Amino acid sequence: ESGDRKLGIALLGLGDYATHQLAPALQETKHARLTGIVTGSPEKVPTWQEKYAIPDGNVYNYDNFDEIADNKDIDIVYVVTPTGLHDEFSIRAAKAGKHVISEKPMAPTVEDCTRMIEAAEKNDVTLQIGYRLHWEPYNLRLIEAMKTKEFGDWKSISATNASRMTNFTGLNKWRIGKELGIQGALYDLGVYCVQGQLYSAQARPLRVTANHSTERKDIFTEVPETYEWELEFEGGRKAAGMASYGKSGNWLKVETDQGMIELSPVYGYGGQKGSTPEGPMDFPHVNQQALQIDGQALAILKGEASKVPGEMGRRDIRVIRGIMEAADAGKPYEF
């Protein structure tokens, strides 16, 4: 049975998320295991090798990374760099014949996403996005209810992902700069709202209106601190969104024919709370990253379609770019 084999994963970009979430999660996965690392920081290598028993032959840097093509221990490269570098590394991984998981948000532009998708197709590998909430029970409950129209159709949606960021030193700087191609909180946090809005609506938006604002102008010199937007769907129904590094809020609320489905908090690694018109939800804590990677590995092993393919990542970037356009132009953007 193909499902019994563990796929080998190399993490590429050993920053905060790879170190504190993905590597530990890979100690719990049933269908994948951490077999390699790719890093631009040689000083990180000894600790990783020791902690995770990674042999010398499975350690790469950004110059010799393409040699990974010859490494049978590695089936998947998981790209965990700043967002503006996902495309370059994902394409190199695909060309090396490895399956690719790219972290969210997929890439700065729709064109970048398309190049990633085409590289995967051309090299006959899969491309998936690190959308961990597709394995989180509270979000799954909402998705199921919206797919089956269990509480009727939806009337309005509200999604906010905002937290006041105060540490802008070191590597975190890429998040509020323009250089690595993204637009601050709108990409980093807003992609969760866009995801939530779309898996609630179960449809694509027709147009968007948006604005951006910056309270701490001394810090946010390159990208806005806050974006607010409203997606409009068929029938004039609307989904409000907000992403901010200055405000706070963490929710996804859907008004249905039969009452509210409300998740708050909703986007974290745990601690979700929520209710449906039937009452409170109550699910046990899960390791989202472990379930996500297992789900992604199983899709590969079984040759099944991914729940979180590159096309979904690109769909979301298209919405994010629309939000940017609408905010800059001060008028609706038509998709």
Cα 186 to Cα 207: distance, rounded to the nearest angstrom: 17
Regarding 287 and contact with ligand NDP (CB under 6 A), the answer is: no
Closest residue to ligand NDP using C-beta atoms? 15
Regarding 308 and contact with ligand NDP (CB under 6 A), the answer is: no
Q: Amino acid identity, residue 315?
A: R
Please give the radius of gyration of the chain, using alpha carbons only, rounded to the nearest integer.
20
Instruction: Give Cα 244 to chain centroid, integer Å.
Output: 17
Count of beta carbons in the 10 Å neighbourhood of residue 236:
7
Regarding 132 and contact with ligand NDP (CB under 6 A), the answer is: yes
Regarding 104 and contact with ligand NDP (CB under 6 A), the answer is: yes
Regarding 139 and contact with ligand NDP (CB under 6 A), the answer is: no
- Choice between 77 and 145, CB closer to ligand NDP: 77
Q: Answer yes or no: are the C-beta atoms of 208 and 230 closer than 8 Å.
A: yes
Regarding 15 and contact with ligand NDP (CB under 6 A), the answer is: yes
Please give the structure tokens belonging to residue 199: 């898996």
- Choice between 15 and 277, CB closer to ligand NDP: 15
Regarding 81 and contact with ligand NDP (CB under 6 A), the answer is: yes
In three state form, how does the secondary structure of 217-281 look?
CCCCCCCCCEEEEEEECHHHCEEEEEEECCCCEEEEEEEECCEEEEECCCCCCCCCCEEECCEEC
Regarding 82 and contact with ligand NDP (CB under 6 A), the answer is: yes
Regarding 121 and contact with ligand NDP (CB under 6 A), the answer is: no
Regarding 14 and contact with ligand NDP (CB under 6 A), the answer is: yes
Regarding 188 and contact with ligand NDP (CB under 6 A), the answer is: yes
Q: Which of 63, 110, 120 is nearest to 90 (CA)?
A: 120
- Choice between 148 and 169, CB closer to ligand NDP: 169
Least separation, in Å, of the C-beta of 52 and ligand NDP?
Answer: 14
Least separation, in Å, of the C-beta of 236 and ligand NDP?
Answer: 33
**What number of chain residues touch ligand NDP (CB under 6 A)?**
22
Task: Identify the helix (H) or strand (E) that includes residue 50.
Answer: helix 45-52
Q: Which of 232, 290, 331 is nearest to 30 (CA)?
A: 290
Applying the rule CB under 6 A, the residues between 26 and 55 that interact with ligand NDP are 39-41, 44
Regarding 332 and contact with ligand NDP (CB under 6 A), the answer is: no
Fill in the per-residue mask, 145 to 174: x = in contact with ligand NDP (CB under 6 A), - = not in contact. Answer: --------------------------x--x
Q: For 70-85, give the DSSP string.
A: G-TT-SEEEE-S-GGG
Count of beta carbons in the 10 Å neighbourhood of residue 166:
9
Give me the residues that bind ligand NDP (CB under 6 A), please: 13-18, 39-41, 44, 80-83, 85, 103-104, 130, 132, 171, 174, 188
